Amino acid sequence: MAPFLFGGDRMRTAVIGCGSLGLLWGARFTQIPGALTLLTRSKEQQQQLNQYGIDFESLDGRKKQIPVQAMWIEELPQPVQFDMVHVMVKQNHLPPIIPILQEITSPTSRLLFWQNGLGHEKQIELLANRPWTYAAITTEGAHRSSYNTVKHTGKGETWVGPFPKLLTFDPPIQEWIIAVENLGLQIAMDQQIFRRMWEKLAINCVVNPITALHQVKNGELLSSEYISEIEKISREVQAVAQKKGFSFELDDMIQKVAYVCRNTKNNYSSMLQDLLQGRQTEIDYMNGAIIRYGKEEKIPTAYNQYLVERIHHRENNG
């Protein structure tokens, strides 16, 4: 495989995982030079995307159909390799994807992991001779209503940083970030991406389980009705994060939750969408991560434990 060179028709980019996030960003990536391939986890979605493209609705309600090329991960041609891969499957779907990533990349490939929560560094470290790995954290909101239909539901920010062991940015990633900025999107490099991940985790630990259990949109959490739950979760997250070396003010955490809820007020959280569709949620990588780290540091996390148990009960009983 030739050395990675950003830009031009030769650059081969893949998005693996075509849920709401994958379709949102996949639609955007079609505007960046190079060949884009969406790698789906089902044959049906591959067929829909190849036949109809992405049906995309922007925040202002404008709709357009975006032609794309899709492949089913169970039928990838051999050999096939990509210069850049955006891994947008959920945490609980990541383990079986790791061997596929090993096959479709080379030592010069750049891999960006877009997962919520914490813990996926252990999976990433299973990759052999894949040094260029990054984490991407985003507060953008999107809702997928069919295999190929996605609506942008909330404007947000995105950060990219070396993860889990890489210490610096390399020129191709810097050039890619500039290309995304040129699309009019808010994206930035962040050398301290672990801190950003903890901030996102704190928000997810609040927004996802509360909206999922009450079956409300994100914007509903701005009501005073939910402040007690928000504070209980945030206090436990704050205590655990501080022991792990990430200090946050409680008021700042709650304000950031409110900021996200305002900007994604019409969005259904990923956890609520999972429950409504009868899918397993990422609760074990969000509030469950707080519980695990709390046990390590001997910090009580009773309310997060309560939320995990309730979400699992909903998963098992509908």
Most confident of the ranges 102-106, 117-121, 191-195: 102-106
Give the domain CATH number at 247: 1.10.1040.10
Residue 68 contacts by C-beta under 8 Å, 6 or more apart in sequence? 26, 27, 30, 36, 38, 49, 50, 53, 54
57 and 175 share one domain? yes
Residue 6 located in a structural domain: no
- The count of domains in the chain is 2
- Going by C-alpha positions, the residue among 313, 282, 110 that lies closest to residue 200 is 282
| Residue that finishes a domain, picked among 172, 191, 210 | 191
Name the residue range of residue 227's domain: 195-317
Say how many residues make up the chain: 318
Give the domain CATH number at 130: 3.40.50.720
178 and 132 share one domain? yes
| Residue that finishes a domain, picked among 176, 191, 206 | 191
Residue 1 located in a structural domain: no
Q: What's the pLDDT score for residue 5?
A: 52
In this predicted model, what pLDDT tens digit does every residue of 226-254 receive, in sequence order?
999 999 999 999 999 999 999 999 999 99
Handedness of CA 254, 256, 262, 266 (dihedral sign): negative
Question: Facing residues of 72 across strands?
Answer: 40
183 and 208 share one domain? no
225 and 144 share one domain? no
Residue 261 located in a structural domain: yes
146 and 232 share one domain? no
273 and 172 share one domain? no
CB contact at 8 A, 140 and 159: no
What pTM did the predictor assign? 0.90
147 and 204 share one domain? no
312 and 199 share one domain? yes
37 and 181 share one domain? yes
In this predicted model, what pLDDT tens digit does every residue of 45-72 receive, in sequence order?
999 999 999 999 999 999 999 999 999 9
Residue 264 located in a structural domain: yes
234 and 85 share one domain? no
231 and 247 share one domain? yes
Residue 7 located in a structural domain: no
Residue 4 located in a structural domain: no
Residue 5 contacts by C-beta under 8 Å, 6 or more apart in sequence? 11, 83, 172
Q: Which residues of 275-301 are buried (b: 16+ CB within 10 A; e: fewer)?
A: beeebebbbbbbbbbbbbbbeeeebeb
pLDDT at 184 over 70: yes
162 and 182 share one domain? yes
Q: What's the pLDDT score for residue 177?
A: 95
- The CB density around residue 31, as the number of other CB atoms within 10 Å, is 12
Residue 138 located in a structural domain: yes
Residue 3 located in a structural domain: no
In this predicted model, what pLDDT tens digit does every residue of 250-271 receive, in sequence order?
999 999 999 999 988 888 899 9
| Residue that finishes a domain, picked among 163, 191, 219 | 191
Six token digits for residue 120? 């996926």
Report percent pLDDT > 70 for the chain. Answer: 97
Q: What mean pLDDT is predicted for residues 149-156? A: 91
